[in-house]
Amino acid sequence: PEVVVMGLGYIGLPTAAVIARSGARVLGIDVDPEIVETVNSGRVHIEEIDLDGLVSGVVARGNLRASTEMEQADIFVIAVPTPAGDDHAPNIGYVLQAATSVAAALKTGDTVILESTSPVGTTAKVAELLAKLRPDLKIPAHCDGTPDIAVAYCPERVLPGRILVELIDNDRVIGGITPRCARKALQFYRRFVRGECVTTSAAAAEMTKLTENAFRDVNIAFANELSCVADSLDVDVWEVIRLANRHPRVNILSPGPGVGGHCIAVDPWFLVHSSPEHTPLIRTAREVNDAKVDYTIDRASDLIESMPGAAVACLGLAFKANIDDFRESPALKVAIALANRFGQRVHIVEPYADTLPPALADSGATLIDVDEAIERCPIFIVLVDHDVFRSIPLAERRTKLVMDSRGIWPDQPAPTSQTAPPQLLG
Ligand code: SAJ
C-alpha cells in the first residue's frame, strides 16, 4: 500500500475510505479481527452518512483493504483512541503502541502522521520512540541534516453525522516536528482536502485541537449556567438567548441536559491536566456541564412526582441530535436515573435505537415509538433535539406536561393547573 491508516474507528475508517477514493492504495489496520473482516467484505461497523456506499466502492475497486498486520507504506496515519483515565488523565498508550508497530515497517522517505486528539508533546514522544526503535534511520529533532522520516501532527476536526463532508471541506492544521516535516505532510493532505491546509509546529497543532473543543465546552457551559439562572428566576432561557443573540457581538450556544460524546467532554481535561494551575475556567466549565446532568434529573423527577402514576416519555438517548451514538450521552444518563427511580412508568422514545441499551434493559423501562408516546404518556421529558421530535405539532402535545431540556418547542404552553392533563395511569 501507499498509505497505512492505523485504527478503523469513527475517524480512521472514513479517513481511510476518503484517501482510497482519491486513488491511493490504502491498508487499514485494526487490532479487532471482526472489524478487519467487516471492512474487507465491503461493509462498515459504524453508522455514518454515506460511509457504507463509499467503503463498499473503494473495497470493490481494490483501493482499500484491511488487516491486523502492519505492512510497508509511504505514509502512516495514526488514528487510534486516546481515552481518558479515572482522573481524566490522557492515556496515549494506544498511540505509542501504534508507533511501535509503524517503527518496524519504516524506510527512508516515509511520513508518519498522528491524527488522534493528544496532549501537547505527544508527537514529539512519537518521534522519540521511533528514533529509539530505529537507530538506523535519521528521525527529525534527533538528527542533523535532512531526516529520513517526516513526523507530523494533523488533528481530525470532523463532526459526527457530517464526517465525509467535513473530511474534505474543513481546513486542516498540519504541525511538523520540523517545518520540513509539516511541508511533507501537507503534500499528502492536499491530495484529498479541499479546505485550506495550514502548517505550524506539532505542539501548536496539538494545542489547537484541544483549544477548539475546550472553546465549545466553555461556551456550552455558559449556556447551561444561564439556563439554571433563568429557571431560578422563572424566565424562559430560550427566549433570553434568542433576544441576546440579536446583539451583533453575542452568540450564545444552546443549553441542554449536559455535554456528551467522546470529544468535548474529554479533551478539555487534557489541557487542565497539562497545566492545572492555569485552567480554572476550563475546569469549571467541565464541572458545570457535568453537573447539568444531575440538575436535569432533579428537575425531571420533580415534574414526574407532580403527577403520581402517570406514564413518562423520555424523548431521546443519543448524545446529540439525529445520530445513533449513545456513548457518553447525558440523555442516556438522565433516562437511566429516571428509569431506576420510576421504573415501569418510564418509556423511552429513541428512533435511532432498535433495542434498549443494556444499562436500561433491566430497569423496567420500555422502548416505544413517537405515536405511542403521544397516545399513552401525559409527561414528556425532552432529552435530545432529534428532528422527529422537533416536528411534533403543538396539537399533539398541547396537553402534555413537558420538561424540554433542549428548547425544541418554543410554542409549548408553560404547565399550569389549567393546562395540566388529567391523570392517566402508565
Ligand atoms: N451541545 C450543547 N449545546 C450546544 C452544542 C452542543 O449542549 O449548543 C452538546 C451536544 O448535544 C453534545 C455535545 O455538546 O452532547 C457535543 O456535541 P458537538 O456537536 O458540539 O460536538 P461533537 O462532540 O459531535 O464534535 C466535536 C466538534 N468540535 C467542535 O465543534 C469544536 C468536532 O468538530 C470535532 O471534530 C469533534 O468534537 C472531535 O472529534 O473532537
Please tell me the residue having the least CA distance from ligand 1 atom 10.
320
Protein residue whose Cα sits closest to atom 7 of ligand 1: 256
Q: 362 pLDDT band (50/70/90 cuts)?
A: confident
198 and 282 assigned to the same domain: no
Same domain for 7 and 114?
yes
Residue 216 within any structural domain of the chain: no
- The yes-or-no verdict on residue 141 having pLDDT over 80 is no
**Greatest Cα pair distance in the chain:** 81
- Look at residue 167 in the predicted model and tell me its pLDDT: 96
> Per the domain annotation, does 224 fall within a domain?
no
- Write out the residue range of the structural domain in which residue 324 sits: 267-404
Domain shared by 167 and 302, yes or no: no
Is-catalytic flag, 138? no
- CATH value at residue 360: 3.40.50.720
Same-domain status, 11 and 96:
yes
| Residue with CA closest to ligand 1 atom 35 | 157
Atom of ligand 1 nearest to the CA of 170: 33
pLDDT on residue 55: 98
- The model's confidence at residue 86, banded by pLDDT at 50, 70 and 90, is confident
**Rounded to an integer, what distance in angstroms lies between the CA atom of residue 308 and that of residue 345?**
10
Within a domain: 275 = yes
- Tell me, yes or no, if 263 is annotated catalytic: yes
Report the pLDDT averaged over residues 290-313. Answer: 98
Statement to judge: residues 189 and 318 lie in one domain: no
Residues above pLDDT 70, as percent of the chain: 97
Residue 209 CA: which ligand 1 atom is closest? Answer: 40
Same domain, 171 and 287: no
Average pLDDT over residues 17-40: 97
- 195 with 296, same domain: the answer is no
pLDDT digits (tens, 9 = 90+) for 256-265: 999 999 899 9
Q: Is residue 39 part of a domain?
A: yes
* Same structural domain, 182 and 299: no
Q: Is the ipTM of this structure higher than 0.90?
A: yes
Does residue 241 belong to any structural domain of this protein? no
279 CA distance to ligand 1 centroid (A)? 20
Mutating to test ligand 1, I would choose from 206, 253, 259, 324 the residue with most ligand atoms within 8 A of its C-beta, which is 259
Name which residue leads in pLDDT, 207 or 415.
207
User: What does the mean pLDDT of the chain come to?
Assistant: 95
Q: Is 426 within the bounds of a domain? A: no
Of ligand 1's listed atoms, the one at least distance from the Cα of 158 is: 35
- Beta strand pairing status for 75-78 and 64-67? unpaired
Residues 203-230 pLDDT 10s: 999 999 999 999 999 999 999 999 999 9
* Alpha carbon nearest to ligand 1 atom 14, residue: 259
Q: Are residues 56 and 167 in the same domain?
A: yes
Q: Which residues contact 148 (CB under 8 A, 6 or more apart)?
A: 108, 109, 110, 137, 138, 139
Ligand 1 near 116 CB (within 6 A): no
Answer yes or no: is 220 within a domain: no
User: Is the minimum distance from the CB of 212 to ligand 1 under 6 angstroms?
Assistant: yes
55 and 198 belong to one structural domain: yes
Note whether 65 and 185 are same-domain residues.
yes
Q: Are 164 and 271 part of one and the same domain?
A: no
Query: What does the pLDDT read at residue 420?
Result: 47
pLDDT bin (cut points 50, 70, 90) of residue 389 is very high
The answer to whether residue 420 sits within a structural domain is: no
How many domains is the chain built from? 2
Q: Are 331 and 317 in contact (CB under 8 A)?
A: yes
- Give, using CA atoms, the residue closest to atom 29 of ligand 1: 213
Segment among 134-143, 176-185, 331-340, 357-366 with least mean pLDDT: 134-143
What beta strand segments (E) does 214-321 contain? 312-315
253 lines ligand 1 (CB under 6 A): yes
Identify the band that residue 416 occupies on the pLDDT scale cut at 50, 70 and 90.
Answer: low
Confidence of residue 154 (pLDDT cuts 50, 70, 90): very high
